């Protein structure tokens, strides 16, 4: 399996040059100016490369006394959104309803954000802590849990996270110091999970927009990938009135615009999986949610569908969208595919297995990466003997690791 390795600066793709979009150097100059205006010190060293093209390094801004990073990032988002011709946050979703079935053109880079760099593996995960606890008394189980702990996985954020700017800053800083890519999940949309096991979310639309701005401020100029709001689009019509559906679409689109305005962020909007919403219908939801401004969409988050059927579904979605978008697949728990159909067959099912480890070596240009978005061993909810959603479920972790085909 091809390993992902850390690399330096990238360059504009052929597709970007053909579209005559603002160059990365223009964006970096704008960022440098805004940092200076807000009292932030910004490294100016250039990135030297043997190949053609220009660019600036993955430099880290250093907070100066009295600086206001949140205001800075808001200004940057507005500036770059205008420069790229993107809609400003707050545009009603209804304004795009008449265009829902029209073909949308991609405005994102053709460069794969996962290529050439490892996803960050944070220490002290539930799996790693469990492994260490088991090593003395149950070494065979510890070895199985180690298969989970060794893989880089996404970091999830919601209302439980505390000050969102601070926690995201700390995580992305750690990834940058490790020379790795931060993979984050934003999971805080109002009425999240339709009141099911992962119920919660921001109190209202205004609170969510402020939360996303804080999330973006935490990333800043660093390199990151964001998976946006798992299940928010698949559950769109399950528990929301039509006006609330439009509000949710607007919130997600605003989040895409805010995050994609950052110079080194790629956003993937969650689009459920191959056995949920038919591709033509999901494509319309993605259009209204701002897929034209995002890198692409994410499939199978926290589910168990097999890779082959997910790739097929992703291709159907791409065709229905009418644009050359890309997608990623959560392969964390799909090594044995889904459980037999039944009540809550998605919730802590028995007999499942770890899927393929994270890799950008997908053999398919439409698939940017197989990643672990859901953390194997963390419960889906209080079903089948499991603890609350997100809590460690050792029995399932051991079972999935034992059943893995690697």
Considering only residues 202 and 39, tell me which one the structure prediction assigns the higher pLDDT. Answer: 202
Q: What average pLDDT does the segment 371-384 reach?
A: 97
Q: What average pLDDT does the segment 245-270 reach?
A: 98
- Using the predicted structure, report yes or no on whether residue 210 has a pLDDT greater than 70: yes
Phi, psi of 168 (to 5 degrees): -70, -40
**What pLDDT score does 372 carry?**
98
Domain made up of 126-403: CATH architecture:
Alpha-Beta Barrel (3.20)
- Block residue for tokens 């995050």: 259
Percent pLDDT > 70 in the chain is: 73
Give the C-alpha separation, 311 to 367, whole Å: 8
Q: 39-48, 89-98, 224-233, 294-303: which has the minimum mean pLDDT?
A: 39-48
Considering only residues 51 and 214, tell me which one the structure prediction assigns the higher pLDDT. Answer: 214
3-state secondary structure of 200: strand
Q: Which residues are within 8 A (CB) of 387 and not within 5 positions of it... i.e. 6 or more apart?
A: 379, 393
Give 37's pLDDT tier (boundaries 50, 70, 90).
very low
Give the C-alpha separation, 302 to 136, whole Å: 31
Within 10 angstroms of residue 308's Cβ, the number of other Cβ atoms is 10
The one catalytic residue in 254, 270, 330, 380 is 380
Taken as a whole, the chain contains a residue count of: 406
**What pLDDT score does 102 carry?**
32
Considering only residues 231 and 100, tell me which one the structure prediction assigns the higher pLDDT. Answer: 231
**Contact between residue 269 and residue 108 where contact means Cβ atoms under 8 Å apart:** no
- Using the predicted structure, report yes or no on whether residue 393 has a pLDDT greater than 80: yes
Percent pLDDT > 90 in the chain is: 69
Q: What average pLDDT does the segment 253-275 reach?
A: 98
**What pLDDT score does 299 carry?**
98
Q: What is the dihedral of CA 330, 336, 339, 340, to 10 degrees?
A: 140
Phi, psi of 281 (to 5 degrees): -70, -40
Give 255's pLDDT tier (boundaries 50, 70, 90).
very high
- Using the predicted structure, report yes or no on whether residue 167 has a pLDDT greater than 70: yes
Give 351's pLDDT tier (boundaries 50, 70, 90).
very high
**What pLDDT score does 197 carry?**
83
- Using the predicted structure, report yes or no on whether residue 319 has a pLDDT greater than 60: yes
β strands within 222-358, DSSP E: 224-228, 265-270, 296-299, 326-330
Give the C-alpha separation, 151 to 135, whole Å: 18
Annotated catalytic, 244?
A: no
- Using the predicted structure, report yes or no on whether residue 227 has a pLDDT greater than 50: yes
Could you tell me whether strands 296-299 and 265-270 are parallel, antiparallel, or unpaired per DSSP bridges? Answer: parallel
Q: How far apart are the first and last CA of the chain?
A: 12
**Contact between residue 194 and residue 235 where contact means Cβ atoms under 8 Å apart:** yes
Angle at 72 between CA 68 and CA 76, to 5 degrees: 175
Give 26's pLDDT tier (boundaries 50, 70, 90).
very low
Q: What average pLDDT does the segment 80-94 reach?
A: 43
Half-sphere exposure of 268 (CA within 13 A, CB side): 34
Give the C-alpha separation, 352 to 354, whole Å: 7
Annotated catalytic, 205?
A: no
**What pLDDT score does 323 carry?**
83
Phi, psi of 217 (to 5 degrees): -60, -35
**What pLDDT score does 347 carry?**
97
Considering only residues 26 and 358, tell me which one the structure prediction assigns the higher pLDDT. Answer: 358
Give the C-alpha separation, 212 to 203, whole Å: 13
Q: What average pLDDT does the segment 393-400 reach?
A: 98
Domain with CATH 3.20.20.40 in the chain: 126-403
- Using the predicted structure, report yes or no on whether residue 20 has a pLDDT greater than 50: no
Give the C-alpha separation, 132 to 118, whole Å: 24
Give 40's pLDDT tier (boundaries 50, 70, 90).
very low
44, burial (CB in 10 Å: exposed 0-12, middle 13-18, buried 19+): exposed
To the nearest 5 percent, what fractions of the chain are helix, strand and coil? 40, 10, 50
Annotated catalytic, 364?
A: no
Q: Which residues are within 8 A (CB) of 220 and not within 5 positions of it... i.e. 6 or more apart?
A: 61, 69, 73, 169, 172, 262
**What pLDDT score does 314 carry?**
98
The one catalytic residue in 163, 205, 231, 361 is 231
**What pLDDT score does 126 carry?**
97
Round the CA-based radius of gyration of the chain to a whole number and report it. Answer: 21
- Using the predicted structure, report yes or no on whether residue 6 has a pLDDT greater than 90: no
Q: Which residues are within 8 A (CB) of 50 and not within 5 positions of it... i.e. 6 or more apart?
A: none
- Using the predicted structure, report yes or no on whether residue 389 has a pLDDT greater than 60: yes
The one catalytic residue in 111, 193, 254, 330 is 193
Q: What average pLDDT does the segment 335-341 reach?
A: 96
- Using the predicted structure, report yes or no on whether residue 379 has a pLDDT greater than 60: yes
């Amino acid at each position: 399996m091809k390993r992902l390795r850390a690399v330096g600066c990238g360059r504009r793709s052929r597709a970007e040059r053909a579209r005559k979009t603002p160059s990365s150097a223009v964006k970096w100059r704008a960022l440098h100016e805004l940092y200076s205006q807000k009292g932030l010190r910004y490294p100016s060293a250039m990135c030297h490369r043997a190949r053609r093209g220009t660019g600036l390094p993955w430099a880290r801004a250093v907070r100066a006394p009295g600086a206001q990073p949140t205001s800075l990032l808001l200004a940057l988002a507005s500036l770059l959104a205008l420069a790229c011709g993107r809609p400003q946050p707050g545009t009603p979703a209804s304004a795009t309803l008449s265009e829902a079935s029209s073909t949308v053109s991609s405005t994102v880079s053709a460069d794969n954000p996962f290529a050439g760099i490892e996803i960050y593996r944070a220490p002290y995960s539930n799996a790693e802590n469990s492994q260490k606890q088991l090593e003395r008394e149950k070494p065979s189980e510890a070895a199985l849990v180690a298969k989970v702990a060794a893989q880089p996985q996404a970091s999830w954020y919601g209302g439980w996270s505390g000050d969102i700017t601070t926690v995201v800053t700390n995580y992305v800083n750690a990834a940058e110091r490790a020379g790795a890519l931060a993979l984050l999940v934003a999971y805080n949309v109002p009425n999240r999970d339709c009141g099911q096991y992962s119920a919660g979310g921001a109190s209202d639309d205004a609170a969510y927009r402020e939360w996303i701005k804080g999330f973006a401020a935490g990333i800043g100029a660093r390199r990151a990938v964001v998976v946006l709001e798992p299940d928010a689009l698949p559950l769109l019509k399950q528990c929301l009135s039509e006006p609330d559906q439009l509000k949710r679409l607007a919130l997600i689109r605003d989040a895409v615009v805010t995050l994609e305005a950052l110079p080194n962020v790629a956003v993937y909007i969650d689009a459920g999986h191959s056995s949920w919403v038919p591709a033509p219908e999901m494509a319309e939801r993605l259009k209204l949610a701002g897929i034209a401004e995002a890198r692409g969409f994410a499939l199978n988050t926290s589910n168990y569908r097999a890779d082959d059927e997910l790739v097929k579904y992703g291709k159907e979605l791409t065709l229905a969208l009418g644009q050359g978008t890309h997608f990623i697949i959560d392969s964390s728990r799909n090594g044995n595919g889904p459980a037999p159909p039944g009540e809550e067959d998605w919730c802590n099912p028995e007999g499942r297995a770890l899927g393929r480890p994270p890799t950008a070596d997908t053999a398919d240009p439409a698939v940017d990466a197989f990643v672990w978005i859901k953390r194997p061993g963390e419960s889906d909810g209080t079903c089948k003997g499991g603890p609350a959603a997100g809590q460690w479920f050792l029995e399932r972790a051991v079972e999935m690791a034992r059943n893995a085909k690697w």
